[in-house]
Every structure is written in C-alpha cells, then in structure tokens.
Amino acid sequence: MDTVSQAGRPEQHLHAMLTGVAGNAIDHEVAQRWVGKPLLRREDPALLTGWAKFLADLHRPGTCHVGFVRSTEAHADIVRIRTDEARAMPGVVAVLTADDLGLDVPPQPSTHALGNRPTPYYALARDRVRHVGEAIVAVVAETAAQLADAMGLVEIDYRSRPTVVDTLHAAADGSPTLFDGWPDNVAGSFETAMGDVDAAIAGADTVVRARIRIQRQTGASMEGRGALAEWDRYRRELVLWTSTQSPHIVRDFIAEVTGVPTPRVKVRVPQVGGGFGAKFHFYAEESAVALIAIRLNRPVMWNEGRSESFIATVHAREAVVDAVIAARKDGTVVGIAGDIIADQGAYMHMVSFGPAWLTAVMMTNTYLVPNARATMRAVVTNKTPTGSYRGWGQPEANFVVERMMDLLARELAMDPVELRRRNLIPPERMPYTSLFHTFDSGYYEVALDAGLKLAKVDEWRAEQARRRANNDVKQLGIGVSFWVENTALGPSRQMNLGGLNQGGYDISKIRLEPNGEVTVYTGLCEMGQGFTNGLASMCADALGVHVDQVVVVTGDTDACPYTGHGTGASRSAAVGGAAVRKAAIALQARIKPIAAHMLECAEEDLRFEDGTISVVGTPTRCVTTADIGRAAYLRAIELPADIDPGLEVTETFDPTDCAWPYGLNVAVVEIDTETALAKVIDYAVFHDCGTVLNPMIVEGQLHGGAAQGIAAALMEELLYDEDGQPMNGNFMGFLIPSAMEMPNFRLGHMTTESPVIPGGMKGIGEAGIIGAPAAVVSAIDDALRPFGAQPFLSTPVTPQQIFEAITRG
Amino acid sequence: MMHGLRKWGMMTSVISEISALVGHVLSGGYTVQITVNVNGTAQTSDVEPRQLLVHYVRETLGLTGTNVGCDTSSCGACTLHVNGQSTKSCTMLAVQADGQSVTTIEGIAKGDELHPMQKAFMENHGLQCGYCTPGMVMAAIGILDENPKPTEDEVRVALEGNLCRCTGYHNIVKSILACANG
C-alpha cells in the first residue's frame, strides 16, 4: 500500500472545516508566510557531509582522555581499590577515586524535589555501590588507546550485599533494603483521585481487573553521551562541552558540584546525536569530568561507549500496574483505578519519580471518567537508575488504559472502537480537567473517524476475514489506540506546585543586526529534531522578514538566555515558538517608529514583508531591515531623536497551561503462525498538533516516535538476572529495530489551534510513541483471537509468547 | 569461575588485559607505515598495528565525519567505502587498508554540490540528529551500486546493518528510492 502523507494538505483542513469543528490554522495576529511550509533543514548539509562536529569530534590542545572503571557488582561495599598497575602504564596521567576528587564534593543535584527519601550518589562512588555500572574510578591517559590499556588493570575488591532486582520483590515486605535506615525500598509515593471510584466499582455492571507490566527500556540515541572540560586556572573559568538537552541545568549543577561561581561556568553544546530524554539528565560523569579538569589543570574528555551507555545512562518505564475498569452494560465507563509500582533503579536520578507521577495522573487518558484513582509507589532496586525517555510516563499510562478498554470491550462483546467513541471527552466539555491536568482543546471523535478512514480499516477487516476463512499461515490483526500528549511544559507555577525546582518558561532574545539580518537566541537546545528551523519560520513571520535572514543560536549558556528547562517535554515548538513570536512582535514594535520616521508616514501604514518595510499602497516607498539596522547601530543620526541606538529585545513566555495534541493510531499486524513472528505491516497516525511550524519535521517526529513505540511492543527490553547483572547491554542483545522491522507510516493531520499558546502550536515530539505499544499489542490480540489466545498484558510481546499463545489454543 | 564469567565487565576486562599486553609490546614505538588512497589523495602514515580503520580515519587523518555508534559492529555508523565496497570501518584494521582506496563521507560531494544521495536525504528529511547519517549515506550509495533500481523491500533488507534511532527509517527508505529514481 502506498504511503499517504497528508500533513498540511488542504483537503484535510477542508475535512476538518466541513465537520464544522476545527478550523484552518490561522494566526490572527501574525500572517503566515513561512510557518507551515516544509522548508528544508539548515543543519543538513553539515550533517550530510560529515562536517558537523559531535562531542567526540572536538579537539582542544592538550586534551587527555578519561574512562570510568565501573562496578561489576549490583550491590556491594567497596573494600579496596588497587590502582598501582594502571598508574604505571604508558601515557597514564592520573587514576582517581572519590577520595581524590574530595569528600567535600556534594551529591548529584536534582531538579525534582518530590518529597522522596534522599538517595545520594556522587561523581564517583564512595564506599558502596548499588548497581552494575556505577562509576568508581576515573583513569586519565594521554590517548584513548592508552586509556583502554590501563583501565583493565584497576582492581576493585567488593563485599557483596543482598540484591533487590525484581520490582515487586523490592516492594514486598521483608525485602533487603538498599539504603540504611529505610524500613523498606519505597523512595516516594503519590495518590490522586476524583469522584468516588470505590462506589463506582461497587455499582458497576461490569468490572475488569488486570495486572499490567511495562518493561525496562532506554532511549539509546545513536550518539552516546560525552563531555569535555577545560579549566582556565588563571581566569578560574570552566568550559564544559557536553552532549545534553539542558545546558543551563548542567551549568547550574556544575557550579553547585565544583564550587566554581555560576557565571564562570560555560556550558557549550556541540552537535547532539539524539537524546530522547536521556540527555535531559545531569550525570555523574559530567561532574567527574569537570572536577578532574580542575584537579589536573588539563582539558579532559570522556566519550561514552555503547556497552557503557547501557549501564550508565538512565533507563525508563519499568512498572507494574494493577488496574481496574468499571462500566455500565452499554459501555459507559464509570471508574478507573490504577495502583502503580514504579522501578526507580538504584537512585532517584534527576527527575526523581516524575515519569511515574505522570503515569498516575494520566490514568483516565482521553475518556470522560467521573471516578478515578491512581496510587504510585516508587521503589529502588539494584539496577541502573530510571528517568526520562520520550513519552515520560505517558506510554505506560496509555498502555494501561487502552489495554483495559480492550479488555472491557471483550467482556462486553463490543467493538473496541465503538467503546472508545462512547467514552471520548466531547468537544463541548473542553477545556476538560482530569486527575491533574486540564486538556486545552480537542475534537477527539473527528480524529477517531479520520484515523479509521486513513488506515483503511474496512479494507483491512475484509482482508482479515479472507485470511481467516482460508486458514492462511499469515493471520492479520488490527488494533487501535487513542492518545493525548502533555506538551508545552509548562506553566512554571504549576510545575513548582508539583514539586519541581525548575521553570517551564522560555526566554527568547532577538537582535536585528546592523546589516539587517536577525539573530534569535534561545536556551532550548537542538538534539536533532530540527525545531530551530520552525523557530526561524516563526520569527520571520512575526517580524516580517525573509526566513533566510534569520539565524537561530542554541547551546551556549553565555550567549543564550536562561531557560528553566531546556529541550524536552515536547516544548520547543510550543513554548519556544511562542517566546520567539512574542520577542519578534516586540522587536517589530521597536522597528516601527524608526521606519515610520524614515518613510515619513504613520506607523499604522507600514507593511512588513521579507525584510522590506513599505508604505501601504505605495510599495516603492520603502526601506529594508538593512537600512533600519544601519540606522540603529551605525548612523544614530537617522533615528528619531527620542530613540536610543540598538535593536535587541528579550521576552519571556510562560504558558498559562499545557497544550494537548491527540490522535488515533491504527496498527495492522501480520503474524506468521508457523514462526510466531509478528510484523507491523501497516501503521497509521491521525493527529492534531495545532499550528504546524514545519510539516516535514512534524512528520519525522511522528515516524520516529511510532518506530520506538512499535519496538517497545515487540522487541526492546533491558534484562537483568537475579543477581542484578545486565544480560543484554549492547546492540547485539538489546535489539533496536532496523529498517526491516519497520512499516511505512501513513499520517493524517488536522489543526485545532491551542487556545493557551499564542500562535496555536502544540508539541509533537513524543506523540508518536505514546499510543504505539497499545495499538500494536491490541492488533496482536486481534490476530490471535481465533486461536483462543488470552490478551497480552505486558510488553514486549515476544515470538516465544506468541508461539505459546497459538499452541496452547 | 562460572559465576565470574556471568559478571558484567568480565569480558571487557579480559579484552582490556589482552589489549594491554599486546599494546605494551606493539605500542612501544612499534608502528607500521601504510599508504592509503583516501578520498583521492594518497596518505602515508605510521600506525599501530592494532589500530582500527575507523580510528585511523578519525584520529590519524582527522576525518571525523565517520562516526562510532557501538562497540559490537552492529550499528553501521562507521560505514565507508573500501575499493568501492561498503564496509563497517570498525571491522578492519588500518594496516589492512594499506594500498587500498578508501572513500569517506567527506569525499563524495563535489565542492558545494552534494552527492545525489546526500541531496535525496536532505530533500526527503532522511535524517534527524545526523549521527547515523554518514554511514547511512555511504551504505545507501553501496546499495544502489549493486542494485540500481531496488524495490522498497530490497532497500529495507539491504539497510539491515545500519541503525537509526530517529527516523523510523520511513524517510531514509524514501530518500534512497528517490535517489534511485531521480
């Protein structure tokens, strides 16, 4: 089947308008000339020719290489460290332990103060390790080869402690504890409710209960992490190049850990080879590299290896959820409850149990459920800490709720699509407040119908029936999931109330340069999505210049304004875009009196287009932004007398609320009943993400997210044995999908502007992944129904499980 | 011993120790002179016999467009051409390239004019973070060299050795097909 990509196509807008519910994306204040166009990305030529410089490509004179000797024990006391042999190796500059870094170094800081018990961990481990991969010793050598030679010669003696590996074991009474003085392994807990869920369950016609497990996963960006620190002992300044999504958080935390005053810490971000949330975190290695550079007075660089990444970079997702759904006979859901046990790994990493909190408050998904309750217990285990990965708790919630909807549909013998239709939040209830958040807008049923049409569900159902009738070896299943995504994070005060010591605002600085070109500075940070292209389009439209006049600068804490957050939480297009829009409008307001003065007209009569400012009705009476820039910086004599030289504005945008894109996923899965292999052969996403800055980039985000979600359903799981030893920590064991396992994607798009974001944008970065596991597993269930197979309640669904389901009958 | 072998790091530590022993003997001033034609220019260098081709290209020649994405020869980020054949440069020693002809990602554009495959990737949004891209583009050129008009399935199967985490492959496949039909 052909790929149908409909993002931005007029007929989709027409479709939406014909239904009378969703309009075309029109920014009523800013004319759209560049916004919405699939402009090619500016960064691509450098990336395609190998010119772009990733962290490992940087070269500073005199740089030596750092490597970390990591714990091979899951839980142990460090008895003795022998470094003599390593020190004696050629090219070795230093071998350092926590003692050498100094015991006055504070524990790793955190942005999320969620009322949990403290779980301190340090740049290098002291006395005790709690997971395989915890860094204990840093070896520094002149070359990478000499470093590799020396690292294996560091010897560490351990005294083993009992390990806690399984999530439920960690939560059980009498389990060994990871932290002295704790009665159990519960690092934090949370509960939220609306209505009376117990009464709703007691009075319901049908109640379905299930225990659902979501496996341990990780972002696995193709570029690992890395950092290069350079200490200027005379100026007492530290420059840290690091592969991160959040340069200002890194800067503040490096200052805290090293004691170097904040203005003297300069974080610079080279080309980033993917992040997916894992690089939102501040890591022990960043602290260690900075501290080592200061101790040695040498630039030092660390490049994470792939196998190292699997034990040193945050994992995510792992949770067990006991869920209940209650409904009337007609399919009206009256209550949902979920008890979540979330596996934090060995320490509460930077975002603490934030993702599990989001799982809890998203426990009603897109449905009008009057009674709901979610409880969450965050437990520590002897595994790598968990944290951020694209979706941040939402894929877990979506999987639970959408699975429960499927189970309920089965119980009621209803069509799963119709069950969803009956319970979707209707547009007249928007804005709708669920367990915590308020959904800003949405025409869910329109998207549901458009999605079914886009996916050609009727045709697939006919094909499925044909194959079933023929007893075809390859059987088909069709699964759907409806999703909503928390984007444009977020309202700073709301975030503080939720326990976060960080903001959700963005600050944008825009300067009209003396030659008439425009520089946008943002604290957001590219990790490869290309959102800076969208920001350039937004700036060009709001300022009235040609998009090629605009340059966007990111990733430098000296040059760029402070941001409360960095890039993540699908906020760059929405919050960043609105901040750029606000600053560009303000800058245009500063340009107007200058242009009116030069053209001897009223400000109201000025027309801005592609950098030319003309008098309405007399296009030949015009000046360019170059004329304005020259006057503003070099020839103040041409300015009105009351206007000071310079044209630079800084504006802050702090959203009043989050923006919520939504949509329907339809997965068609083919199962080879002889090999038990499941393959997604068709996959459709119909979505609404508000105003689209660049449809090409939106489509790319959906493709990538969907691929990761399909992989979560079928392939990816980080495995540990009972001793806490990782069993598949490299690309030979942890299988991320190749082109062979992925389908073509069909995308369809409609636009409902977000009422809470000026410009109307909603985020899209995590949308593709959220509903994907539920749709794929639903399709597998559907395919195996004739075999009498029970629904799958955990991910990934492996060929082994499918084989057993088929043969058990 | 059985318990020990199951432990994380055991293998890497064994490899490091062997490497240290070998390195001690071989790196003590012991180098081999090789001459490799790289992107059309003969390059003569003294290299350690244990140096991988990818490290020779990146560190000795400073051609950092070729990336390293794994340590198990799984990801293909380091793919370049040796005598016109797509090769994962982590699977060869630099000394094995002596007398051979190597083309890296830096060697395929003509000045400012991108190679048709580079152009196809740009026009079809076949890249996001760009880290797998140099290897992906070199592999893609190799695919079309062997099969100038592949089907979509043939492209997907031939790309199996190159991993991308951003694109879901949709636009990579589209780019390669566009280049083939362009």
Shared domain check, A245 and A151:
yes
Contacts of B19 in chain A (CB under 8 A): 148-149, 152
Shared domain check, A453 and A478:
yes
Residue type, A67: G
Across the interface, which of B72, B166, B173 has its CB nearest the CB of A528?
A: B166
What's the token pair of residue A288? Answer: 């260690």
With b meaning 16 or more CB within 10 Å and e meaning fewer, what string describes B21-39?
Answer: eebeebbeeeeeebebebb
Shared domain check, A600 and A546:
yes
Across the interface, which of B9, B65, B66 has its CB nearest the CB of A70?
A: B9
Shared domain check, A589 and A682:
no
- Predicted confidence at residue A26, as pLDDT, reads 54
What's the token pair of residue A643? Answer: 């206007």
CATH code: domain of residue A526:
3.30.365.10
| Any B CB within 8 A of A52 CB | yes
A20 CB-near residues (< 8 Å, 6+ apart): none
Shared domain check, A538 and A436:
no
Shared domain check, A609 and A538:
yes
Across the interface, which of A149, A529, A737 has its CB nearest the CB of B23?
A: A149
Q: Which domain holds residue A143?
A: 59-160+224-271+278-310
Instruction: Give the Cα separation of A698 and A661 in Å (integer).
Output: 12
Beta-carbon separation of A744 and B155 below 8 A: no
- Digit-coded pLDDT (tens) for A460-515: 999 999 999 999 999 999 999 999 999 999 899 989 988 888 999 999 999 999 99
Say if A218 falls within a structural domain: no
- Digit-coded pLDDT (tens) for A49-96: 999 999 999 999 999 999 999 999 999 999 999 999 999 999 999 999
- Predicted confidence at residue B136, as pLDDT, reads 98
Say if A190 falls within a structural domain: no
- Predicted confidence at residue A116, as pLDDT, reads 74
Q: Give the full edge-to-edge strand order of the sheet including B85-88.
A: B41-47, B32-38, B101-103, B79-82, B85-88
Beta-carbon separation of A40 and B122 below 8 A: yes
Instruction: Give the Cα separation of A667 and A452 in Å (integer).
Output: 11
- Digit-coded pLDDT (tens) for A703-740: 999 999 999 999 999 999 999 999 999 999 999 999 99
Across the interface, which of B59, B127, B174 has its CB nearest the CB of A48?
A: B127
| Any B CB within 8 A of A272 CB | yes
A14 CB-near residues (< 8 Å, 6+ apart): none
- Predicted confidence at residue A65, as pLDDT, reads 98
Beta-carbon separation of A222 and B163 below 8 A: yes
Shared domain check, A40 and A134:
no
The bridge status of strand A265-268 relative to strand A438-439 is: unpaired
Asked whether the predicted pLDDT for residue A114 surpasses 50, the reply is yes
Contacts of B70 in chain A (CB under 8 A): 306, 730-731
Q: For chain B, how big is the Rg over CA atoms in Å?
A: 18
Asked whether the predicted pLDDT for residue A8 surpasses 50, the reply is no
- Predicted confidence at residue B17, as pLDDT, reads 53
| Any B CB within 8 A of A41 CB | yes
The nearest CA of chain B is from the CA of A223 a distance in Å of 6
Give the distance from CA B161 to its chain's centroid.
11
| Any B CB within 8 A of A145 CB | yes
| Any B CB within 8 A of A47 CB | yes
- Digit-coded pLDDT (tens) for A248-299: 999 999 999 999 999 999 999 999 999 999 999 999 999 999 999 999 999 9
- Predicted confidence at residue B2, as pLDDT, reads 35
Phi, then psi, of A567 in degrees rounded to 5:
-95, 135
Say if A189 falls within a structural domain: no
Dihedral of alpha carbons B170, A280, A339, A177, sign = positive
Beta-carbon separation of A48 and B66 below 8 A: no
Shared domain check, A150 and A125:
yes
| Any B CB within 8 A of A273 CB | yes
Contacts of A705 in chain B (CB under 8 A): 168
A156 CB-near residues (< 8 Å, 6+ apart): A69, A71, A72, A78, A80, A81, A82, A136, A137
Q: Scanning every residue of chain B, which has its alpha carbon at the shortest distance from the alpha carbon of A390? A: B166
Tell me which DSSP letter residue B164 carries: -
Beta-carbon separation of B168 and A703 below 8 A: yes
Across A11-37, average pLDDT: 59
Beta-carbon separation of B166 and A222 below 8 A: yes
Across the interface, which of B14, B71, B174 has its CB nearest the CB of A730?
A: B71
Residue type, A435: L
Shared domain check, A253 and A231:
yes
Beta-carbon separation of A57 and B64 below 8 A: yes
Contacts of A699 in chain B (CB under 8 A): 125, 171
ipTM above 0.90, yes or no: yes
Across A160-176, average pLDDT: 97
Say if A10 falls within a structural domain: no
Q: Scanning every residue of chain B, which has its alpha carbon at the shortest distance from the alpha carbon of A50? A: B65
A420 CB-near residues (< 8 Å, 6+ apart): A367, A405, A448, A480, A482
Query: How far lies A187's CA from each of A171, A313, B53, in Å?
Result: 10, 20, 48
Of the pLDDT bands very low, low, confident and very high (cuts 50, 70, 90), residue A18 is: very low
Q: Scanning every residue of chain B, which has its alpha carbon at the shortest distance from the alpha carbon of A274? A: B129
- Predicted confidence at residue A476, as pLDDT, reads 98
Asked whether the predicted pLDDT for residue B107 surpasses 50, the reply is yes
Of the pLDDT bands very low, low, confident and very high (cuts 50, 70, 90), residue A565 is: confident
- Digit-coded pLDDT (tens) for B2-49: 333 455 555 555 555 555 555 555 555 689 999 999 999 999 999 999
Shared domain check, A317 and A297:
no
- Digit-coded pLDDT (tens) for A188-215: 999 999 999 999 999 999 999 999 999 9
CATH code: domain of residue A76:
3.90.1170.50
Say if A125 falls within a structural domain: yes
| Any B CB within 8 A of A120 CB | no
Shared domain check, A664 and A727:
yes
Task: Look at chain A and report how many structural domains it folds into.
Answer: 3
The nearest CA of chain A is from the CA of B41 a distance in Å of 18
Single out the residue of A371, A359, A367 nearest to residue A400, CA to CA. A359
Across the interface, which of A132, A271, A703 has its CB nearest the CB of B167?
A: A703
Instruction: Give the Cα separation of A17 and A1 in Å (integer).
Output: 28
| Contact assessment for residue A314 and residue A230, using Cβ atoms and an 8 Å cutoff | no
Contacts of B125 in chain A (CB under 8 A): 41, 696-697, 699-700
Shared domain check, A374 and A411:
yes
All domains of chain B in start order, with CATH: 2-107 (3.10.20.30), 116-181 (1.10.150.120)
Q: Scanning every residue of chain A, which has its alpha carbon at the shortest distance from the alpha carbon of B118? A: A48
Q: Transcribe A60-79 into DSSP letters.
A: -TT-EEEEEEE-S-SSEEEE
Beta-carbon separation of A708 and B165 below 8 A: yes
Strand, coil or helix: what is A39? coil
Asked whether the predicted pLDDT for residue A399 surpasses 90, the reply is yes
| Any B CB within 8 A of A519 CB | no
Beta-carbon separation of B106 and A49 below 8 A: yes
**How many inter-chain contacts (A to B, CB under 8 Å) are there?**
230
Say if A710 falls within a structural domain: yes
Q: Scanning every residue of chain B, which has its alpha carbon at the shortest distance from the alpha carbon of A131? A: B8
Beta-carbon separation of B16 and A696 below 8 A: no
Phi, then psi, of A774 in degrees rounded to 5:
-65, -40
Instruction: Give the Cα separation of A130 and A143 in Å (integer).
Output: 30
Instruction: Give the Cα separation of B126 and B121 in Å (integer).
Output: 4
Of the pLDDT bands very low, low, confident and very high (cuts 50, 70, 90), residue A113 is: confident
What's the token pair of residue A39? Answer: 């402009």
Percent of chain A scoring above 90 in pLDDT: 94
Across A527-542, average pLDDT: 97
- Digit-coded pLDDT (tens) for A763-775: 999 999 999 999 9
Strand, coil or helix: what is A687? strand
Interface of A with B in 732-751 (CB under 8 A): 732, 736-740, 742, 744-745
Single out the residue of A522, A553, A496, A508 nearest to residue A652, CA to CA. A508
Beta-carbon separation of A48 and B72 below 8 A: no
**Residue B49 preceded by cis peptide, ω within 30:** no
Beta-carbon separation of B68 and A56 below 8 A: yes
Interface of A with B in 750-809 (CB under 8 A): 768
- Predicted confidence at residue B109, as pLDDT, reads 98
Contacts of B12 in chain A (CB under 8 A): 152, 307
